[in-house]
Structure 1
Amino acid sequence: MSIPPPPESAPVRVAVIGCGARASLARHVDPVGRATALVDPDTEARARTAEFLPGEPVQYATVADLLEAPGAVTAALVLTPDDTHAEVTIPLLEAGIAVFCEKPLAITTADADRILAVATRTGTPLYVGHNMRHMSVVRLMREIIDRGEIGEVKAVWCRHFVGHGGDYYFKDWHAERARSTGLLLQKGAHDIDVIHHLAGGYSTRVTGMGGLTLYDQVTDRRDNSDRRMADWFSLENWPPLSQRELHPVIDVEDLSMVQMQLDNGVHASYQQCHYTPDYWRNYTVIGTEGRLENFGDGEGGVVRVWNRRSGYRPDGDAEYPITGDEGGHGDADARTVAEFLAMVTDGAPTLTSPLAARHAVATAVAATESLRAGSAPREVPAPDLDRRTTS
């Protein structure tokens, strides 16, 4: 007589908190999890999200309403605006609900540290959605480094051409310092985290520079809170000074850069511009025995390696194709959500870490402070936490 297989474990019950642009992450919850709850004060936003999810998720207006239903969920995707991450995440952690918090972890270093302190004290799983660590180009660069092809890393440079910046960041709350701190944090936290990841260290001292150099000249403004990004995004919105219906308040920089000194002796730099014609990231990593550089950051691009002394050689000594990202950002999103759910169900190790996410926030905040203080250098404060409990 054969023994019947054990019953499959029930899917993780997941709440989707924030039904805006990043609610698409909920598409990747199945099959390990099931989105059983939607939380957003906007009934139309909840309805839009419910349309692409299986079943009929229970809908709540606030996190407090969700928490009044004990056992409703065991995990949550926090996809709310950045300035709300602390106020949303902390009650969930206190309630023992595992949290996936979209990056950046917070818009201030103090709030990032508060979140980490609660996660450490309660032992509730916390995951931060730095999905770029799962992008194929980043994984490939890290593999090349780990194989020793360029020796010991000494410098990392990143140029970020944010070609969609006008539509993505200057027509809604992202354009306000009060809501985002600045785009060196909101947008740059991605790349600062990748720089730390590739360099194997964290920033301790930074110098920032930049300014609001273009979008303040666009006088056509509109409160777009009644619309979604899909309503205004278009590649035809070009050139940048012809943009229309920008956010009424714009006080963040559209051109910025930061120099970083890391705790392991690596030096790094990051630059972003929000009005380039093209949209991609270019990394250069220099080691004691060579360097690597990516050309394109998705499927069809390549990473090239130079490890022989010479003059100009655009093709390098080795070339590796970037594969596995046909869906672009979505592929990294799927890997990130899967890693979160594996952590929740099996305690699996993760490529990202809350501590690393905190360091990205602290570095970006210090860089923004430096930028706005005439490029005066700033020390990046160390977290007052035990790394062993948060990394």
Structure 2
Amino acid sequence: MTDARIGIVGFGLRSSLAAVAHQPGEGRRVVAVCDIDERGRQDAVTMLGNEVEVVSDFDDLLKIDLDAVLVLTPDHLHAEHAVRCLEAGVATFLEKPMATTIEDADAILEAAYRTGTRLYIGHNMRHMPVITAMRNAIEAGRIGEVKAVWCRHFVSTGGDFYFKDWHADRSKTTGMLLQKGAHDIDVIHWLAGGYSIRVAAVGSLSVYGDIADRRDNSDRRMWDWYSTDNWPPTAQKEMSPVLDIEDISMANMVLDNGVLASYQQCHFTPDYWRNYTVIGTEGRLENFGDDTDAVVKLWNTRSDSYREVADEIIPVPAAEGGHGGADPMLIDEFVRFAIAGGDTMTSPVAARNSVAAGVSGTLSLRTGGGAVEVPPLRPEVLAYFAAGQTRS
């Protein structure tokens, strides 16, 4: 078996995907890594070995013979790196969210459309067993026709993950309703079977903006300061000097198929998990937990009071690997797609529409909370991706 030759751009917080991608003798191997930071380059050698070619210049990476590339750079650099990879003709995996503006997301799709190079967006939650269990139940008609979806996202790690580095700067992320919310919005869209056309949101910087202890943490990475002892939220230290994003936000969405959806996100909760509720014409689904301990409950008989005991417990398959086993399945699918094409569970159009909803929601919450229309994608580009990134 000939291994697919994979390059990586950016060896930082999502470099864990490199270990998943590097499977010499099993169909794929990482042969090159590009990172402008010396620590990233050293980490690549430590993880992947001395045989990997490590460069600091993106141009040098594109000169290497590659079958595919993983773009794992910070969000605001995604468009620049993805477009150049696509224009170089290298099948491209792009970490989510795919961009921080609708314009950049559309530019990425346009580049893939123009060049015919395969594009894959790393929305790994579509591979999470708890999400696929809910999706399968919906597809099987277990709750009838979906009419409403909402998600409550509790982020106990917010103070460490997002408010001490570049994530806290809206010029690099737009905001958490996009940076963090794009993943959940994509799942909401997937479970509901439609895309947001109108969003209204509210939000605020309720806790972390009041912390006076600040530090430029560009010389460190999240795992250098992360600790569960960083509690309560008001006791956090060494926050980012630039901190102009919201730490709590709530968005209401109207989808193109009439489904109503709601997304609520808080970065100063004591626990960390997502709770999705899906209500159809014949029942309700809800997950409790979203990792290896997750369960999905189904209620489809009527009562006149709260019932903790569901009518049915839907099993969540066991899986190994990051994000509840999703990361290995994500990379498996990308490599297969990069080499052979075909259908994928993830979708560049869906990824763009989650960005568009997140951007529109952020605009709403920063301009008084009124409804904002989500701009549509160009029909020709939409048709290209609907055809599986092939031209008829």
What TM bracket, shorter-length normalisation? over 0.9
CA distance in 1, matches of 2:27, 2:180: 30
Q: 1:321 aligns to what?
A: 315
* Match of residue 216 from structure 1: 209
Shift of 1:337: 0.8
Q: 2: distance between equivalents of 1:240 and 1:383?
A: 40
Contact 2:292 2:319 in 1 (8 A): yes
What residue identity is the alignment partner of 1:36?
V
Partner amino acid, structure 1, of 2:251: V
Task: Give the Cα–Cα distance (whole angstroms) in 2 for the partners of residues 188 and 265 of structure 1.
Answer: 21
Q: CA deviation at 1:326?
A: 4.8
> Which of 294, 304, 326 is the matching residue for 1:332?
326
Q: Is the 8 A contact 1:298 1:323 kept in 2?
A: no
Query: How far 1:54 moved relative to its partner?
Result: 4.7
Aligned to 2:235: 242
Per the TM alignment, residue 348 of structure 1 is displaced from its structure 2 partner at its CA by 3.0
SS of the residue aligned with 2:377?
coil
Point out where structure 2 has 5 or more consecutive residues left out of the alignment.
Answer: 387-392
User: In structure 2, what is the equivalent of residue 291 of structure 1?
Assistant: 284
- TM-superposed deviation, 1:384: 1.1
CA distance in 2, matches of 1:157, 1:112: 25
| Alpha-carbon distance, 1:73 to partner | 1.1
Aligned: 1:369 with 2:363: yes
* Alignment pair present for 1:40 and 2:35: yes
Q: Tell me which residue corresponds to 2:383.
A: 388
Matched, 1:188 2:181: yes
Which TM-score applies when normalising by structure 2?
A: 0.95
Q: 1: CA distance between counterparts of 2:49 and 2:141?
A: 46
Say yes or no: does 1:74 pair with 2:67. Answer: yes
CA contact (8 A) 1:117 1:385 kept: no
Amino acid aligned to 1:324: A
Distance in 1, matches of 2:361 and 2:266, equals 16
Q: Distance in 2 between matches of 1:23 and 1:60?
A: 15
TM-score norm. by structure 1 comes to 0.95
Task: Kindly provide the amino acid, as one letter, of the partner of residue 64 in structure 1.
Answer: D
Among 137, 140, 156, the alignment partner of 1:163 is 156
Q: 378-387 or 79-88: which moved more?
A: 378-387
- Unpaired runs of 5+ in structure 1? 1-7
| 1:92 match | 85
How many residues matched?
Answer: 381
SS at match of 2:14: helix
**How big is the shift at 1:385?**
3.7
Deviation at 1:334, TM superposition (A): 1.0
C-alpha distance after superposition, 1:231-250 (max 9, x if no partner): 10000000000000111110
204-213 or 341-350: bigger deviation: 341-350
Mapping of residues 20-169 of structure 1, within 5 Å: 20-29=12-21, 30=23, 31-54=26-49, 56-67=51-62, 69=63, 71-169=64-162
Q: Distance in 2 between matches of 1:245 and 1:308?
A: 51
Q: SS in structure 1 opposite 2:48?
A: coil
Which is further off, 338-347 or 161-170? 338-347
The 8 Å contact of residues 128 and 324 in structure 2, kept in 1 or not, is answered as no
Distance 2:181 2:120 in 1: 19
- Opposite residue 53 of structure 1, the aligned amino acid is L
1:109–1:365 contact (8 Å) kept in structure 2? yes
Q: Cα offset for 1:13?
A: 0.8
Q: Kindly, what percent of the aligned residue pairs are identical?
A: 55
**Cα distance, 1:326–1:57 mapped onto 2, change above 3 Å:** closer
Q: Which AA in structure 1 matches 2:289?
A: G
CA distance in 1, matches of 2:32, 2:144: 49
The amino acid of 2:280's aligned partner reads G
